[in-house]
């Protein structure tokens, strides 16, 4: 027999469905020049500091004296210590190296962390939401509570009216590109402490924050280390979508022994991120690496700002794109999300992501990403404008 919980899932994962539709269209129209502003994959090459570190690591693997086999499941000390110093202590946040768990990316960890929790836990997610949070908990058979995020509430979810055990928050947000201020995030930390709930905080896009009052880490909020686990990714920060590396912070000060349990889980089910990817990640914390990574994130944010201004001039209602590489765009008229997706693909040869794929409250919106090249971004905007 198979798990009945898997039968509750939609037939296919959102981005797999988009890929299928695009591939079908390409087969019928091989001459079409398709520009993707949909799936959030990056386009800029890895920073030279990262490339140099990987070449050096490969050379080490070619010599018996420096060859590395299985690494520590938590990650190598050289990377965890660099994370602590550069991502936290530099900002006045107290995090220890043994609270850092290096992984192959935030997607895996945000999906897998729920394994530590009882199936009886009631889980709250924003709507719209990154599908992994919902699907991974449906696979486990948990009850999901949706917290609407709409233009009417400024995309700030209201605190649950009834008790919930687990809350997924992602800020800067995927898919809406919106953010929470420190005061707004503090309300969630206070709620979690009061209700003895756990916040699973996805900070995958923190490197794109521009505004002063938007926190880069939930641990900037007093008391968060008692109630929150935080996920980070190098995919969008450093272009590691094909390299695969990230990390999760599991404080030892949580009221449950989640640090020890997550370590036990990782030792059982995960052999650690590769030595090559961890040396690559370490390189982004060098003086050279920091400059190069900043140049790349600025490149994408330039795209976001151009997209936001141009689409607004065309008459679209646009959210996000200020502190995040995502733009949440209201479809024109009364067009449904998939209907607008089809129009964009067939008329302008542009791929977007239908908002309804992120939840019911995403209907009537599409998500656009700023991860394309400058040239394709400008070309796509011209195409959209010409087809209106």
Classify each residue of 297-328 as buried b or exposed e, where b means 16 or more C-beta atoms within 10 Å of its C-beta. Answer: bebbbebbebbbebbeeeebebbbbbbbbbbb
118-137 per-position pLDDT tens digit: 999 999 999 999 999 999 99
Q: Is the pLDDT of residue 254 over 80?
A: yes
Statement: residue 11 has pLDDT above 90? no
> Is 226 in the same domain as 82?
yes
For residues 2-13, give the mean pLDDT: 85
In whole angstroms, what is the distance from residue 296 CA to residue 303 CA? 11
The mean of the pLDDT values for the chain is 96
Residue 186 sits in the same domain as residue 42: no
Q: In the listed set 231, 253, 285, which residue is the last one of a domain according to the structure?
A: 285
pLDDT digits (tens, 9 = 90+) for 189-208: 999 999 999 999 999 999 99
Residues 337 and 373 in one domain: yes
315 in the same domain as 239: no
**Mean pLDDT of all residues in 181-191:** 98
Residues 224 and 168 occupy one common structural domain: yes
Do 81 and 180 lie in a common domain?
yes
144-148: long-range contacts (C-beta < 8 A, 24 or more apart)?
146/359, 146/360, 146/361, 148/361
pLDDT band at 15 (very low <50, low <70, confident <90, very high): confident
How big is the chain, counted in residues? Answer: 388
Domain count, the chain: 2
> What's the pLDDT tens digit per position in 259-270?
999 999 999 999
Contacts of 148 (CB under 8 A, 6+ apart): 126, 127, 157, 158, 361
Percent of the chain with pLDDT over 90: 95
pTM: 0.96
pLDDT of residue 8: 84
Domain range enclosing 111:
49-285
pLDDT for 50 beyond 90: yes
Q: List for the chain the helix, strand, coil content (%; round to 5).
A: 50, 15, 40
Q: Identify which of 120, 102, 360, 31 has the alpha carbon closest to the alpha carbon of residue 245.
A: 102
> Residue 356: which CATH number?
3.90.1150.10
Q: Are residues 269 and 356 in the same domain?
A: no
Residues 198 and 159 in one domain: yes
Question: Domain holding 62: CATH number?
Answer: 3.40.640.10
**What element of type H or E holds 236?**
helix 235-238
Q: Which of 253, 285, 317 is the last residue of a domain?
A: 285
Model confidence pLDDT, tens digit, residues 67-83: 999 999 999 999 999 99
pLDDT of 114 over the 90 cut:
yes
pLDDT of residue 277: 98
* pLDDT on residue 13: 77
User: 351: which 2 tokens?
Assistant: 């791929």
Same domain, 213 and 250: yes
Position 39 confidence tier, pLDDT thresholds 50, 70, 90: confident
**pLDDT, tens digit (0-9, with 9 covering 90-100), for 314-356:** 999 999 999 999 999 999 998 999 999 999 999 999 999 999 9
Domain final residue pick, 267, 285, 303:
285
Verify that 85 and 154 share a domain, yes or no: yes
Given this model, what pLDDT does residue 53 score?
A: 98
Question: What is the per-residue pLDDT across 296-319, written as a single tens digit (0 to 9) for each?
Answer: 999 999 999 999 999 999 999 999
* Residues 258 and 298 reside in one and the same domain: no
Residues 77 and 214 in one domain: yes
What pLDDT, in 10s, does the model give residues 225-235?
999 999 999 99
């Amino acid at each position: 027999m198979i798990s009945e919980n898997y039968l509750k899932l939609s037939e296919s994962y959102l981005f797999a469905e988009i890929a299928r539709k695009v591939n079908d269209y390409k087969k019928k129209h091989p001459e079409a020049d398709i520009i993707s502003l949909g799936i959030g994959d990056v386009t800029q090459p890895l920073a030279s500091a990262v490339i140099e570190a990987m070449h050096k690591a490969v050379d080490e693997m070619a010599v018996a004296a420096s060859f590395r086999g299985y690494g520590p499941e938590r990650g190598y000390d050289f990377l965890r210590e660099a994370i602590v110093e550069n991502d936290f202590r530099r900002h006045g946040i107290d995090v220890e190296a043994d609270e850092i768990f290096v992984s192959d990316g935030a997607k895996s960890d945000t999906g897998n962390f729920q394994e530590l929790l009882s199936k009886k836990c009631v889980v709250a997610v924003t709507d719209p939401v990154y599908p992994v949070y919902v699907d991974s908990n449906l696979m486990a058979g948990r009850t999901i509570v949706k917290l609407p995020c709409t233009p009417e509430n400024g995309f700030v979810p209201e605190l649950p009216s009834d008790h919930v055990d687990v809350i997924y928050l992602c800020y800067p947000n995927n898919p809406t590109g919106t953010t929470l201020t420190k005061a707004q995030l503090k309300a969630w930390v206070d709620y979690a402490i009061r209700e003895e709930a756990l916040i699973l905080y996805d900070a995958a896009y923190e490197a794109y924050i521009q505004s002063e009052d938007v926190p880069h880490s939930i641990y900037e909020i007093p008391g968060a280390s008692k109630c929150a686990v935080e996920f980070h990714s190098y995919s969008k920060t450093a272009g590691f979508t094909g390299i695969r590396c990230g990390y999760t912070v599991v404080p030892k000060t949580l009221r449950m022994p989640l640090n020890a349990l997550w370590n036990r889980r990782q030792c059982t089910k995960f052999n650690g991120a590769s030595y090559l990817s961890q040396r690559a990640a370490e390189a982004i914390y060098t003086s050279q690496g920091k400059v190069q990574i900043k140049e790349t994130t600025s490149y994408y944010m330039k795209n976001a700002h151009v997209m936001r201004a141009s689409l607004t001039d065309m008459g679209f209602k646009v959210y996000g794109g200020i502190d995040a590489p995502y733009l949440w765009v209201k479809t024109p008229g009364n067009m449904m999300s998939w209907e607008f997706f089809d129009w964009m693909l067939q008329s302008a040869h542009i791929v977007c992501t239908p908002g309804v794929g992120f939840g019911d409250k995403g209907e009537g919106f599409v998500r656009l990403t700023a991860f394309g090249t400058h040239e394709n971004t400008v070309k796509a905007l011209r195409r959209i404008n010409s087809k209106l």
